[in-house]
Structure 1
Amino acid sequence: MERLKLKAVLGSHPHVLAVKSGALHSDRFDLDFIEYTPTNTAFKPMVREQAFDVCEMAIVTYLMARAHGKPLVLLPAAMLGRFQHAYALCNPERGTLGPGDLEGKRVGIRSFTTTTGAWIRGILANDYGVNLEKIKWVTFEDPHVAEYVDTTERAPRDKKILQMLLDGELDAVLGETSDNPKLKPLFHDPAAEAAKWYERRGVVPVNHLVVVTAQLAKSRPDVVAGVYDLLKRNKVQTGPAGAPDLVPFGIEANRKPLELIIDYAFQQALIPRRYAVEELFDETIRGLN
């Protein structure tokens, strides 16, 4: 069979560096890596135009893309996972806030549909009893999936999210970190809160996995299996990313995080129904280890 050259976008994560450098490679295909910084700027062209053959993608973006019939196939190869509690900020000079105090407040987020935002909103709603509909959401970017109807307030084009928090135009922001001493975590001790959350949930909050085009998956399932195998070899070579492993590989290893983010995305009306995990993968992928 013809040796394929695949356009690919992956972040420079430790567990993919051998693949990106070519130290690990396949004799059936070549990966032509295109750099996007930050990596999330590649998600929109992948969703809207299938601009690449292989692409890292935030899981909520993928779930929404699937809901709107985009021809993408998911691989159970985590690229980025992290505990989310550190990615919410407030400005103590404007009054002390905790995670349970956001109802009636103005909360900024880059886009309402970001995966970090969905994880944190799920934590706020399910662990702190926050009614998300009573928060005034202020956003700065369009969703990656064009069909999603965004009803949030859009910040003026010249405004920056952290500056609005410093100026008192926002009460809190999600999905951001800052070294500014005037800004503090919304969760008083993010590491301790994350540890308690993991003890209770037993879930690693996975943000990014990998997708391929449905055209590639249909025409060359052997190549798609080969892409996953290559990534998995690099992952095995690198070893676990922490304890627990923040970048799990395989359907079973990703089952609990996928089930929970599906639940959160459905609660937040980002997707029309709860998908079964098996629905997210095609027959080739379901046959992989």
Structure 2
Amino acid sequence: MEKLRLRTVLGNHPHIQAVKDGELRSELFDLDFTEFTPTNAAFKPMVREQAFDVCEMAIVTYLMARAHGKPLVLLPAAMVGRFQHGHALYRADRGALAPADLEGKRVGIRSFTTTTGAWMRGILANDYGVNLDSIDWVTFEDPHIAEYVDRTERAPKSSTIIQMLKDGELDAVLGETSSDPALKPLFADPAGEAARWYARHGVVPVNHLVVVTERLATSRPDVVRSLYELLKRGKARAGPSGVPDLVPFGVEANRRPLELMIDYCVQQALIPRRVAVDELFDDTIRDLN
């Protein structure tokens, strides 16, 4: 029998490089990779058209897709995880700006539904008491989910987020980093703040996991399980990612990040109701570790 060829989009992450290079393979299928730069450019066609069989996907995009009935199945295989406190900037020459000062300000973000944005807003609201509704949000891209109604102000088409910040048209931006000395991190000690946040919550802020089409999961659950095991072997080949593990694998390892992100998404009206983590996985996936 001819092996399945799975149309696949995964970023160039060290912990799956052996899979992408073809050093590790499955007897059941081959992965036919399509490259997107940045990887998040693949999320919209995957959500709207199921353009691939396997695709890396941001947690918030998946949660919103699920809320709108998109036929996608989640795998507990983290592709990207990072602490978020270093991904917020303001212009240094306009005076010091702290998280509490964002109320009443104009804050830019690539899209209101980005996962980094949801993590950052959740941190601002729940750890720093910021009233998110008091901020004037300015966005640059449409949401991946067509059904979501974005009520934020849209930046002019020719503009870029960092340039608008430097020009003083924005007071701060989320989801961005820069080596420009004119720009400062919103959190004065991002690494220290991240360490304290982790000590308080015990959660690794996972950004991207992996999804497959419902069609594949239903017709070939053996292939989906084999895919997960292949990615897991890739991670084992690469060795530890650090302490804590920023790319956890398994339902239990991802439970707390998913629970917290679900809470944040409900608070921010990105999804209509709180869902249990176990609802996110089908019977094929639920016991993966």
Which ranges in structure 2 are unaligned for 5 or more consecutive residues?
Answer: none
The alpha-carbon deviation at position 2 of structure 1 amounts to 4.6
State the match for 1:208 in structure 2.
208
Alpha-carbon deviations, 1:84-126, whole Å to 9, x = none?
Answer: 0000000121221101110000000000000000000000000
State the match for 1:129 in structure 2.
129
State the match for 1:102 in structure 2.
102
Q: How does 1:43-58 map to 2 (within 5 A)?
A: 43-58=43-58
State the match for 1:151 in structure 2.
151
Output the TM-score relative to the length of structure 2.
0.99
State the match for 1:269 in structure 2.
269
Q: How many residue pairs were aligned? A: 289
Q: How does 1:108-127 map to 2 (within 5 A)?
A: 108-127=108-127
RMSD over aligned Cα, in angstroms? 0.7
2:194 counterpart letter in structure 1: A
Q: Give the whole-Å Cα distance in 2 for the aligned partners of 1:288 and 1:80.
A: 19
Matched, 1:20 2:20: yes
Paired residues of 1:240 and 1:247 also in contact (CA < 8 A): no
State the match for 2:85 in structure 1.
85
The alpha-carbon deviation at position 288 of structure 1 amounts to 2.2
Alpha-carbon deviations, 1:242-278, whole Å to 9, x = none?
Answer: 1100000000000110000110011000000111000
2:232 counterpart letter in structure 1: K
Q: Give the whole-Å Cα distance in 1 for the aligned partners of 2:64 and 2:24.
A: 32
Alpha-carbon deviations, 1:24-74, whole Å to 9, x = none?
Answer: 001110000110011000000000000000000000000000000000000
The alpha-carbon deviation at position 238 of structure 1 amounts to 1.5
Paired residues of 2:86 and 2:185 also in contact (CA < 8 A): yes
Q: How does 1:156-175 map to 2 (within 5 A)?
A: 156-175=156-175
Deviates more, 1:1-10 or 1:180-189: 1-10
Q: Give the whole-Å Cα distance in 2 for the aligned partners of 1:3 and 1:222.
A: 13
- The percentage of aligned residue pairs carrying the same residue is 77
Q: Give the whole-Å Cα distance in 1 for the aligned partners of 2:36 and 2:158.
A: 23
Q: Give the whole-Å Cα distance in 2 for the aligned partners of 1:266 and 1:235.
A: 32
- After TM superposition, where is structure 1 displaced by more than 3 Å over at least 4 residues in a row? none
Q: Give the whole-Å Cα distance in 2 for the aligned partners of 1:96 and 1:4.
A: 56
State the match for 1:32 in structure 2.
32
Q: Give the whole-Å Cα distance in 2 for the aligned partners of 1:159 and 1:63.
A: 29
Paired residues of 2:113 and 2:143 also in contact (CA < 8 A): yes
Q: Give the whole-Å Cα distance in 1 for the aligned partners of 2:132 and 2:212.
A: 33
Q: Give the whole-Å Cα distance in 2 for the aligned partners of 1:209 and 1:64.
A: 14
Paired residues of 2:251 and 2:287 also in contact (CA < 8 A): no
Which ranges in structure 1 are unaligned for 5 or more consecutive residues?
Answer: none
Paired residues of 1:107 and 1:138 also in contact (CA < 8 A): yes
Paired residues of 2:18 and 2:237 also in contact (CA < 8 A): no
Q: Give the whole-Å Cα distance in 1 for the aligned partners of 2:180 and 2:139.
A: 21
Q: Give the whole-Å Cα distance in 2 for the aligned partners of 1:67 and 1:239.
A: 35
- SS of 2:284 mapped into structure 1: helix
Output the TM-score relative to the length of structure 1.
0.99
State the match for 2:283 in structure 1.
283
Q: Give the whole-Å Cα distance in 1 for the aligned partners of 2:241 and 2:57.
A: 19
Q: Give the whole-Å Cα distance in 2 for the aligned partners of 1:261 and 1:84.
A: 13
